Structure 1
Amino acid sequence: MKAVIQRVSEASVTIEGRKVADIRKGLLVLIGIEDASTTEDIQWLTSKIANLRIFGDENGVMNLSVKDIDGEIIVVSQFTLHASTKKGNRPSYIKASKPDIAIPLYESFVKQMEADLGKKVQTGEFGADMKVALINDGPVTIIIDTKNKE
């Protein structure tokens, strides 16, 4: 499981002209699921994201988490995070899970993220053609792969 976490001053997701998610200060989390992803990966990753200290404290030092600042989160499924570009110029997505595996894991990820954050998490729509808008604050972008958790 891979996540791209972006600290944002605002972010939104629009599908077919309809805004489905809209936050102010917080995190935009792009999540890529592969067949090897587990419930343990979900629990580890959501806890890591909720407690990641990437917001400035009173001294401007990145010392606060999204929970500490009462920030918001949007989670967007993005299978392209598992793109392989080793051969040629057309990426292969063979490592990304098919919907029958990915959807339940994505839904579990969102529920666990809400439990770790202690409030509702906004989302995109799995498999939809989404327009994601954000103002990356910093910019701060962190990439986490659960294969590298040890």
Structure 2
Amino acid sequence: MGGPHTVGRIEYYYDPQAPKPNSLVVACNLLVTDDSGAILLQRRRDTGQWALPGGAMDLGETVAQCALRECHEETGIIAQITGFLGIYSNPNHIIAYTDGEARQQYENTYIGTAVDGEPSINAEADGVAYVQPDELDQYDIHPSMRRQIDDFLSSTYPHLG
């Protein structure tokens, strides 16, 4: 599941060497499941890690619109929102970019279902797949993202939690 990736960012997670943040960004994610309970993931080109589709909010859009837009842009899936998982904020998770930005972000994570489209790679994701909950450990998923997925699974699939 690896491969060559251009790293334009470094994620610091509870790391005392992390730079001090110089920006605060609102981000939105969408956790999409299919009829079998598999979760839609995309493999980020910048880190090589698997993640929920999501990204920074644009001016002029709501957080829900951002989650839907990011899902479509990163996976090819047009989705609808069916619920809200939560707001995730961790000042010990800093994302440093090659342009000097050191970002602290908070993520609004929605739950959704696909209504159209096919999983497809793009400029931001070099892999897109529906992953069964019992296969998640086979994927390189950042701990902050895995927490969101595990929160969803523990509330939706208590027998797996």
**What range describes the TM-score normalised by the shorter chain of this pair?**
under 0.3
Structure 1 length-normalised TM: 0.26
Relative contact order (alpha carbons < 8 A, sep ≥ 6): 1 or 2 greater?
Answer: 1
Structure 2 length-normalised TM: 0.25
Greater share of helix:
1
